[in-house]
Structure 1
Amino acid sequence: MSCSIPWGYLEPINNIYPRKILTKSTYTIGRHLHECDIVLDSPELRQHEYFIHLSSKHFIIECINNGRSIIFHDISRNGCYIDGELVHQSKISFQNSEHIISLALIENRAYKFIRLSGLFNVINLDERYLKANLLGSGSFANVYKAISSVTQTHRAVKIINKDHCEKQIGPGFSKYLYREVSIHGSVDHPCILRRFEVFHEKTNLFVEMEYAGGGSLYDRIHKTYIMTDDECKFIFYQIACALAYLHRLKIVHRDIKPANVLLMTNEKETIAKLSDFGVAKYVYASSRYLNTT
């Protein structure tokens, strides 16, 4: 059975493996040309040392309960590793939004499985990106990870609900929304999260942005480890550079906090970027907003 809405994406970690957007309820993956939905038998793969370890039918992945459950079933002679754990001749349920699939050997990292979240229902976005997991949510906006199935580029797409905005802010909400996207789109600095395109729909505003794979500084402070003085100084320096740039443009951010500082990777030494221009303003010499940021 096939449907128009994709539920998963097999993103190759090693480019000798084919990529696949998953729309059917069940896929069989392996070397067999006629009995597999995704065939692991390209000329590049045949020349690789990993090829001899692959089975004619290596694993099955299926979507059940209307997309609520993803089941992985190893049917190979040598097994699979899911996030480093051996799965051999057995089934497991995928619990997370992303999983690493290694075939036969733990070092043969073949795929990243990414659970998808339907469609954006915006032609310009759905033609280019797959809608992946929810990254964060606020009182009137959700941010989703988006993946290009062609280039594997990752983006973040902020979906702002206009009706919720009107309830929270009032009839003049559009002025605040357009000010946010306008200011964000006008700046260009290596320590400010890039804003790309904006799509206006009847009920939602879609903002395409740079994806920060390391999450927020808030998450790192509260959920990972105790940061060293040097790590803190490096992040502080980068945000200070971003603020100095904004102030030269007569822009005040007005919402500096760890949740609005995004980290590009999970490495300890990483690029930090200032985000969320929801309350940013242009100011002038007579403005009282020059007194604080």
Structure 2
Amino acid sequence: MYGETLAIEDYDDLEDELQAENEDNGEEAGKTWAHLIPLNSQLKKMVLVDPNEKYIFGKDGDECDCVFGTEAFSQSSLAVISKKHFLIHKQPCSADPDDFDVVLQDISSNGTLVNGKKVGKNKFHVLQSNDEISLATNAIKVYMYVSVKSSGGASSFHSEVTDKYLVSKLLGKGACGEVFLVFLEADFSKQYAMKVVDKKSFTSTVVAPSATSSGVFRHNSLNNDVMTEVNILKKLQHPCIIHVQEVFDYPERLYLVLERAMGGELFDRVVKKDGLDEATAKLYFYQMILAIEYLHKQNVTHRDLKPENILLATEDDLTLVKVTDFGLSKLVGEQSLMKTLCGTPNYLAPEIIKTSGMGHYNSKVDIWSLGVILFIMLAGYPPFSDDYDDMPLVEQIKKARFSFSDEDSWSHVSKQAKGLISKLIVANAAKRLNSTQALNHPWLKDEEMKKIAEKLMQEDMENRNSSPNQMSTTTGEMATSRINSEDTESHISNNDPLNETVELKKSDSFKENSETDSANDEHSDTSEQSASGKTEDCPVSKKPKLDAS
């Protein structure tokens, strides 16, 4: 059976296969100058090594170093693959004899593509890490190229990290660090996202790291507090939170090796679509609130929830949501992290801002952030912004002043969705819903949506259980128990309309869910004005821009 095009994390034991092949050939491995990760389940990983400086790929079994045959491709695919389709060679740099480029040359009749673009017959393309190579059409993917050179700042990474993981491209960066794509050196089919936190960017005193323990690498004197937090994070298992695979801790830098979500950040999805339709936003938000309820029950408060920290498992609209960056405050210092985050306060609760992150607060800060995220998903723009020039951003947040008055954005959104937002973005934390109360809101009493979410979570748990060192079946059962059970204490009617819309007048103005707001009936089916205090005559003139925090 010819191979399917699959995600590279679906393949196991590639390194073992390659090692066995080399042993059979009696070859001693030379110095590696390139890695090729298969994007077809029937192809093997290739390690390009000295003294060979050129490898040929195609159908010709006599001339090609990598032969494309019937075990990996259908007859229709083989019909468009040339006997000698492309070659990859090592090109030394004239300025530095120890440096080199890895170059692909297209020698086919029907074309070779790199990242979906044809190279051109007899033309060359200098490969970059994570370039995808396809034959004739982008649908016939064969390999992903991974450079042996360190990426970005990876050359300064500690050897214990780079000996175990091949560091590839930079995936993103934020206030708390950079995220790199990494591959496990022992098995290149396993890829992760590694978050690198520079402790010097935080103001708290850095405690010297400690000795090695299970899942965490540390140096010198043992710091039990950090070690305890790492062990707590590694034990957290829920389909809607990113799994912490491993932690390396040093005096100046922290490395967190994390499960990788292939669908990217929620922020990018919202920006691309200029907001999400209500059904999709509901599916995503339901999973978020399940994850946060789980974390809160484990006595973990996230503190930095924002669309950039909500990841999507796939590029499909119906996809699993995964929360990341939880527990970071315990590893770098809570007050230090909160002071850093106060520099970009768009998603922070008023009680954090009022004390510049130095005061006391509880898990309700996460609920505020979820309310802001829900607003953004439905509207495509933030509830609080510097673009509102009548009031400083910090004052908008302290007063919980926001508006549903942009008719283009909100006229099609249900009354219940806006009602839930109005019970989450409340300045008085005591009157803000908690995670369980939010799950019991009428807007989330959508059984069809819950079935989709349950199916996505169940598939994720089955995938984890089929891999070694992943979470157990009992953990999976715990994760879905919240979905399968009905809260008997809830008095919400499931017959409430879920798609009812309310027309907004152009004269609608900002509202304030201030500390004097009345929000006693947490489960009533109300409009967006139900949790309002006073309103101000300062209508929105234009939608503010959604920027990364």
TM-score, scaled relative to structure 1 = 0.76
The aligned residue for residue 192 of structure 2 is: 155
Match for 1:74: what amino acid? D
The aligned residue for residue 21 of structure 1 is: 47
The aligned residue for residue 298 of structure 2 is: 249
1:147-199 deviation line (CA, Å, top 9, x unaligned): 3473622211223345x25x643345867865763442232211111101223
The answer to which of 42-51 and 8-17 deviates more is 42-51
Aligned: 1:83 with 2:115: yes
Aligned-partner Cα distance in 2 for 1:53–1:219: 36
Match for 1:93: what amino acid? H
Aligned-partner Cα distance in 2 for 1:46–1:246: 45
Q: How far 1:231 moved relative to its partner?
A: 1.4
Q: How far 1:240 moved relative to its partner?
A: 0.7
The aligned residue for residue 106 of structure 2 is: 74
Q: How far 1:42 moved relative to its partner?
A: 6.1
Match for 1:28: what amino acid? I
Identify if the C-alpha distance between structure 1 residues 114 and 225 changes in structure 2 by more than 3 Å, giving closer, same or farther.
farther
1:16–1:42 CA contact under 8 A, matched in 2: no
Aligned-partner Cα distance in 2 for 1:260–1:50: 40
The aligned residue for residue 278 of structure 1 is: 328
2:32–2:148 CA contact under 8 A, matched in 1: no
2:262–2:315 CA contact under 8 A, matched in 1: yes
1:190-269 to structure 2, matched below 5 A, reads 190-200=239-249, 204-223=253-272, 225-269=274-318
1:28-177 to structure 2, matched below 5 A, reads 28-32=56-60, 36=64, 38-40=65-67, 44-45=71-72, 50-51=77-78, 53-62=80-89, 64=91, 65=93, 70-93=102-125, 97-115=129-147, 117-118=149-150, 122-123=159-160, 126-127=163-164, 129-138=165-174, 141-148=177-184, 150=187, 152-162=189-199, 164-165=200-201, 168-172=203-207
| RMSD (Å), alpha carbons | 3.7
What secondary structure does 1:89 align onto?
coil
Aligned-partner Cα distance in 2 for 1:33–1:117: 31
1:100-121 deviation line (CA, Å, top 9, x unaligned): 3222455432223345553765
Identify if the C-alpha distance between structure 1 residues 255 and 105 changes in structure 2 by more than 3 Å, giving closer, same or farther.
closer
Instruction: State the structure with more CA Rg.
Output: 2
Identify if the C-alpha distance between structure 1 residues 266 and 117 changes in structure 2 by more than 3 Å, giving closer, same or farther.
farther
Q: How far 1:268 moved relative to its partner?
A: 1.1
The aligned residue for residue 11 of structure 1 is: 37
Aligned-partner Cα distance in 1 for 2:32–2:252: 21
1:17–1:45 CA contact under 8 A, matched in 2: yes
Identify if the C-alpha distance between structure 1 residues 252 and 211 changes in structure 2 by more than 3 Å, giving closer, same or farther.
same
Q: How far 1:123 moved relative to its partner?
A: 4.8
Aligned-partner Cα distance in 1 for 2:304–2:174: 15
Aligned-partner Cα distance in 2 for 1:116–1:219: 29
Aligned-partner Cα distance in 2 for 1:191–1:136: 21
Match for 2:297: what amino acid? R
Q: Identity rate of aligned residues, in percent?
A: 28
1:53-107 deviation line (CA, Å, top 9, x unaligned): 4444321234555778553210123322333433342324357643332224554
Identify if the C-alpha distance between structure 1 residues 143 and 177 changes in structure 2 by more than 3 Å, giving closer, same or farther.
farther
Identify if the C-alpha distance between structure 1 residues 169 and 204 changes in structure 2 by more than 3 Å, giving closer, same or farther.
same
Aligned-partner Cα distance in 2 for 1:27–1:225: 45
Aligned: 1:187 with 2:222: no
Q: How far 1:48 moved relative to its partner?
A: 5.3
Aligned-partner Cα distance in 1 for 2:32–2:175: 27
Aligned-partner Cα distance in 1 for 2:242–2:107: 44
Aligned-partner Cα distance in 1 for 2:360–2:262: 37
Aligned-partner Cα distance in 2 for 1:236–1:40: 47
Aligned-partner Cα distance in 1 for 2:271–2:128: 21
Aligned-partner Cα distance in 1 for 2:282–2:68: 50
Match for 2:361: what amino acid? Y
What secondary structure does 2:361 align onto?
helix
Greater relative contact order structure (CA < 8 Å, 6+ sep): 1
How many residues in Structure 1 have an aligned counterpart in Structure 2? 282
The aligned residue for residue 284 of structure 1 is: none
Aligned-partner Cα distance in 1 for 2:73–2:162: 36
Q: How far 1:226 moved relative to its partner?
A: 3.3
1:177–1:278 CA contact under 8 A, matched in 2: no
What secondary structure does 2:362 align onto?
helix
Aligned-partner Cα distance in 2 for 1:227–1:242: 20
